Amino acid sequence: MKILISLAIIVMFLPNSSNAKNILNLGYPIDPISKLSAKVLVEAYKRIDFEINFKEFPAERSLQMSNTGSVDGEVNRVMGIDGKYTNLIMIPCPINFFEGVVFTKNHNFFIEGWSSLKPYTIAIRIGAKFAENGTKGMNVKKFVTYEKIFMLVSKDRYDVCISSRINGLYQIKRDKIGDKIGTV
């Protein structure tokens, strides 16, 4: 009987979970799809009494900040990223999906896998892991922003750039370069 009474007294003095403040600090890359994912997470975590603070970083830096514990985690990343960033643990609950797309100005060609891009100069965003992995061994240059890679392709400095469809279409519309660049 003494054990039950002691347990009841301890439980009474524990903070009520509705009064406790659960806060997560999450990093995310600077791009539209991550901002949309952040909005989904705010709503989902609010339902379980968590507040989320977001910190926007260049894509690779965001991964490094999460991996070292400077922030609690990432908003969204591709599956398998935990193979290289071993302190990250994937929560297998998709909050978005994206379609990787090749954007170009002057080349009209058929894409049949990553190897189709070998003859071209390719611009990608640093930290876009799907593009970094898919273009290994090719003529690739990495840049910090999508703005930069789309500008370079629109000015004929690179043949193609790789982005998610939503990020690419956003960049084209924002920079008003739809008459210069499109998808393959």
pLDDT, block means (10 residues), the chain with 184 residues: 36 44 89 88 92 92 93 88 90 84 86 94 94 96 95 95 93 88 78
Task: Quote the pLDDT of residue 16.
Answer: 45
Please identify, among 83, 115, 144, the residue that sits at the C-terminal boundary of a domain: 83
Residues 51 and 107 in one domain: no
Whether 67 is covered by a domain: the verdict is yes
Q: Distance between CA atoms of 25 and 103, rounded to whole angstroms?
A: 33
- Per the structure, the count of domains in the chain is 2
Both tokens of 41, joined, read: 């997470």
Whether 92 is covered by a domain: the verdict is no
Domain extent, residue 139, equals 100-183
Whether 91 is covered by a domain: the verdict is no
Residues 112 and 137 in one domain: yes
Task: Quote the pLDDT of residue 43.
Answer: 92
Q: Distance between CA atoms of 49 and 41, rounded to whole angstroms?
A: 12
Give the pTM. Answer: 0.70
Contact 96, 115 (CB under 8 A): no
Q: 161 φ, ψ to 5°? A: -135, 160
